[in-house]
């Protein structure tokens, strides 16, 4: 199993350009998350999904859109990139816990995607 795979790992954009980050997990997890981490800072939740076809806003959703058309994939889009979106983006997935009602908070992270917006 590859676990959680993020594509691309590095990208440089110019202000105003658009791009999509892809997160793929092969663990059949129900939940998927996108976080951003600025240098020397903690992780901030952008958007998350509790299942195929669902998305929800996190702490810092502005400027980003997401889609979960397939259970194994969670896409993060930047429609018009800004320098403030320069960051490392981490995707994570999580499984249904006991009773198969909700997750437990055990997250499996990808290696990150480093995005620079000039």
Partner 1 sequence: LAKTTQPISMDSYEGQEVNITCSHNNIATNDYITWYQQFPSQGPRFIIQGYKTKVTNEVASLFIPADRKSSTLSLPRVSLSDTAVYYCLVGGGTVGNEKLTFGTGTRLTIIP
**Contact in structure between 44 and 58 (CB atoms under 8 Å):** yes
Cβ proximity to partner 1: between 18 and 28 the closer is: 28
Distances (CA, A) of 84 to 25, 62, 75, 110: 28, 11, 20, 22
The least distance separating partner 1 from the CB of residue 4, rounded to whole angstroms, comes to 8
**Contact in structure between 83 and 76 (CB atoms under 8 Å):** no
- Spatial separation of the C-alpha atoms in residues 26 and 2, rounded to whole Å: 7
**Is residue 103 close enough to count as binding partner 1 by CB under 8 A?**
yes
Running DSSP on this structure, what letter comes out for residue 99? G
Cβ proximity to partner 1: between 64 and 90 the closer is: 90
Site track 25-64 with partner 1 (rule: CB under 8 A), x = hit: ------x-x-x-----xxxxx--x-x-----x-xx-----
Cβ proximity to partner 1: between 13 and 35 the closer is: 35
The least distance separating partner 1 from the CB of residue 21, rounded to whole angstroms, comes to 14
CA dihedral (49, 52, 54, 55) positive or negative: positive
Q: Which residues pair with 12 in a beta bridge?
A: 116
**Is residue 118 close enough to count as binding partner 1 by CB under 8 A?**
no
- What does the binding site for partner 1 look like in residue numbers (CB under 8 A)? 4, 31, 33, 35, 41-45, 48, 50, 56, 58-59, 88, 90, 92, 94, 97, 101-112
């Amino acid at each position: 199993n590859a676990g959680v795979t993020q594509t691309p790992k590095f990208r440089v954009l110019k202000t105003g350009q658009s791009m999509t980050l892809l997160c793929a997990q092969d663990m059949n997890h129900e939940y998927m998350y996108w976080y951003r981490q600025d240098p020397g800072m903690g992780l901030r939740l952008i958007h998350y999904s509790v299942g195929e076809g669902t998305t929800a806003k996190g702490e810092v959703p502005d400027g980003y859109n997401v889609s979960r058309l397939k259970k194994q994939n969670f896409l993060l889009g930047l429609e018009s990139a800004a320098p403030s979106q320069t960051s490392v983006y981490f995707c994570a997935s999580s499984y249904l816990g006991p009773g198969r009602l909700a997750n437990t908070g055990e997250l499996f992270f990808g290696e990150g995607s480093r995005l620079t917006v000039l």
